[in-house]
A and B are shown apart, each in its own frame.
Chain A
Amino acid sequence: MIISAPFRNSNPRLVMIGVIIGLGLFILLADLWRVQVMNAEHYGGRDQAQSLRRIRIPSARGEIVDRNGVVLANNRPSYDIAFYLDQLGQVSKKQDIVRIAEANLAALSQALNMPVTLADRDVRIHYQRRRPLPLPVWRDLRPEMVAAFEERASNLPGADLIVTPVRQYPLGSLAAHVLGYIGKADQNDDADMERFYYYQPDSVGRQGVERACDEFLRGAPGGYTIRVNPAGRKVGDVGRKPAELGGRVTLTLDARIQKIVEEALERALLSAGKELRGAAVVLDPRNGEILAMASAPAFDPNIFNPGVPAATVNAVINDPRSPMLNRAIGARYAPGSAFKPVTLLAGLEAGSISPRDSIVCNGAIQIGNWSRPFRCWNTRGHGAVDAFSAIKESCDIYFYEKGIATGVDAITRMAGELGLGQPTGVDVGRDLSGLVPTPAWKRVQRGERWWDGDTAQLAIGQSFLLATPLQMACMAAALGNRGTLWRPFLIKRIEANGGQVVRQTNPEVRNRLHESPQNIEFVRQAMLAAIQSVDGTGHRAAVRGLSVAGKTGTAEFQMREGRIKRAWFIGFAPHDDPQVALSVLIEDGDSGGHTAAPVAGAILAGIFQKKMEAVAGGAVYAD
């Protein structure tokens, strides 16, 4: 129609105008094509970038339960009062956000009678960087505070009650060293950082099971997307993906036994002026499952939650008694006489010890050209001592002589067979090797040859020998079950959030002793006598109606403050068919028999629900 219409005034200048207009409109179309079709993605991205904010929702950690399903760690809701700064009022040059926030907070602070502990800087930073997110002001309110807030906050702009999951250890410090604790991740996932505009970090396990099983417990973070207007105020929700709860970890631990062990440790009788530091481990000698693992002093992992004053946390962290150290696996001690069963078994196997041989103990013996005689703990002497009574009464002279006769190589080999001097393979926490000294080791480390005196010391568990309480418990278990050294473990099973089993730990044999069953049985019988006999050094561990076998140990240890004694007890029960094996260590005790054995007795009595033998008096230095 336009073209076909006759141009009555075929004015060429009118045609020129038409060309100019046509060109102009074409330029517009071409540029619109460039912006809207060719660069649509670029501008679409900028649109999203400036108006959409992705916010990460930290995942909720999974539960940790004991072997019977008793909850050791889970999450509870924390009720926090938070402020949405962008809803408080108009910020301007005259009205600073900090002043606005203060004015709003003051009213609530008065209504709830709680002081504001927020720094100006926090408010400002939050306003600048995380404006659409709530700023927590009071965390973890008590129920009456929540009620008070609900009553009085309806007219306060920007205030809101938000619920966040908080890690909870319902049994407090029970098994704290095993469970570990959590903290905020300080190493953020960079890929995640890029995906989210507002990053709320996960919690990560810092110690214990929380750390060892972190990837299973952690779950998957969620996220939500909000739209913001040019002022940064939230104007709507776009999408939400809830965080996924982490998996559930079932431990081999038995909360009942753990409690018994911790209480028994707590009640350890110490001489005046000594602080309780020690550890105890209870194992199932039939498969290596750790039924209880305790370390004293303990700590309450709940203190690492947000909202707990930093002073409380620092007091624990800086405590000179190192309450956060898991002494059951993270510290090494000289085992003392608790090592004697090893020497005995080595001697029996080597033929240097015969059950019928006996020696005479005068309380001291001269070895090589040592300047001083080697003494027995019983300085009056044991008189005639054979292998059996040497264990029962823990005669040092017997083991000096027989140890030298057996030789350092046979003893260290036997120690190795029973798991000393090497990592236990435990699945949680540090796994120290301890130390079984050899002549080669001494040459390298001390630049000195190995003397007979060293062998004598080694035979009674002194010298340079070091072991963790867990290693000693494993050794006791291997003697108890007649020769199987299990890998000790704490994590029995891990289930994903849906319930499917992700990991199931099967018992694992580390070593099977090839020593003759008679010899092993001889050692076991001697250990039984050490507890059951009235003159046994470990008689204070005896339990009525339970056949307990064991060995005490008292290792002298030179410290700056003076000589202190490591008090040990290792053992298993019942003797015929052991169901538990255990070790008890007190860092600074009087003696194994007096300090550690009663703890072991209390533990066993508790586990088997029997009463301890009433044992009174006796020499303080019963080894």
Chain B
Amino acid sequence: MKRYIDSLMRMDWLLFGAMVALAVGSVFFIYSASYRGPGEPMPHFYRMQIVWFGVGVIVYVAAALIDYRLLCQWAAVWYAMAVGLLVLVLIAGAKVYGARRWLGWGSFGIQPAEIAKLAVVLALSYYLLHRTPQLRRRWGTVWVALGLVGLPLVLIMIEPDLGSAMVLMPICFGLMFVAGVRVKHLLLVTLLGMALTPLAWLKLKDYQKDRLTVFLNPNRDPLGDGWNLNQSLIAVGSGGVSGKGYLQGTQNLLGYLPRTVTPNDFLFSVIAEEKGFVGSACVVGLYAVILFSGLRIAANARDRLGMLLATGVVAMLFFHAFINVGMTIGLMPVTGLPLPLLSYGGSFVLASMTALGLLQNVWIHRRAY
């Protein structure tokens, strides 16, 4: 037991601190996002979020302490489990707003797509580790890697959950890049992907197309699909430098920000409205701490596996943060990608904390003790 506590004490405390700061902020601003005015009844999402963080701590500690090399030996199992769950959700998942993303029992549910993200990181890291440098520079490696990512990606697309599916791409490319796959190959694959984009367009659902066209021109339909983006922009912009004050965000309070998705997708808009540029810069700063700590951990990992694992996690978290914040200010299309640690939602809180636990794992085990 003492050995585990000693190990835990060797974790990266700066990374831990940033995580705690975001978690505390998450609870406060989920409260604010569901606040309806003094004395008004409000949904108690923030309490559930506290519970998720509580569960998350256990997952976090476990992910940090069980040696990542041991974990990765089971990569194939994790991967198979994730794919199995993705298949299961398509069959037995609960249909919400026309998409099957939830595997649930009663009010408790998980999103297999979140598990798949972590499983892909583990499996791809493990796969790339076991390729010799020569093989990593061949086309064959690229195709297998793409195949490993492609299977869950397609399954997630079928749900459909375009945002989560897209997250797998930077994970894949980040890992291949750091693992030493030729840049020429990566560029060719990218070009191929772009060439296939028009085909993918045909496969998109109407609402997905709308979101993308609205991103290109938010005022095309200001009361329909452009509404969320416009209202988010107004919320963020009207926050100004120092914000309107906690629980004072009128865009949120009056319901101009869409109530159903604000605690998840538009939590950043609430923070930006109530705390202004100062608040949003703090959020971006905390992510910078987490991401650069992650890269430092990658650089200091005792082996290639640790480096790859850390890189995969960083890629995943960065993509989430960038897409979500970018979405609130019209820089990115509206997708339901949550903000790591801040957005309301159990599955992604657990996935994020597992990912951060993995980072700590690589850090803790960076030397042979």
Contact = CB atoms under 8 A, between A and B. Distances in A.
A17 B174 contact: yes
A37 B329 CA distance: 13
Given A14-B311, A18-B295, A43-B233, A36 B272 contact: yes
Interface stretch (B90-98, B192-200, B251-259, B347-355): B251-259
B177 interface: yes
B245 interface: no
B150 interface: no
A17 B37 CA distance: 44
A25 B178 contact: no
Contacts of B277: 32-33, 36-37
A35 B250 contact: no
B82 interface: no
A31 B331 contact: yes
Nearest to B251: A47
Given A17-B177, A44-B238, A44-B240, A36 B300 contact: no
Main secondary structure of the interface of A (DSSP, over half): helix
B284 interface: yes
A539 B362 CA distance: 126
Nearest to B278: A36
Interface stretch (A5-13, A106-114, A135-143, A363-371): A5-13
B322 interface: yes
B233 A25 contact: no
B143 to A, nearest CB: 20
Nearest to A52: B250
A36 B256 contact: no
Contacts of B304: 9
Contacts of B329: 31-32, 35
Contacts of B255: 229-230
A229 B284 contact: no
B291 interface: yes
A32 B236 contact: yes
B112 interface: no
Nearest to B289: A2
Contacts of A5: 296, 299-300
A1 B13 CA distance: 12
Interface string A12-27: 0110111001101101
B168 to A, nearest CB: 17
Contacts of B345: none
A229 B255 CA distance: 6
A51 interface: yes
B292 A11 contact: no
Given A9-B307, A17-B177, A230-B256, A28 B301 contact: no
A215 B252 CA distance: 44
Contacts of B314: 17, 21
Q: Which 7 A-B pairs have the closest CB atoms?
A: A43-B237, A40-B240, A47-B238, A36-B277, A44-B238, A7-B299, A43-B238
Given A32-B329, A40-B237, A50-B256, 19 more contacts: A2-B293, A9-B301, A9-B304, A14-B311, A17-B315, A21-B292, A21-B314, A25-B288, A28-B284, A28-B326, A29-B284, A32-B236, A32-B280, A36-B272, A36-B277, A39-B237, A46-B234, A46-B238, A230-B255
Interface of A: 1-2, 5-11, 13-14, 16-18, 21-22, 24-25, 27-29, 31-33, 35-37, 39-40, 42-44, 46-47, 50-51, 227-230, 235-236
6 contacts: A9-B307, A24-B318, A28-B325, A32-B236, A36-B241, A51-B251
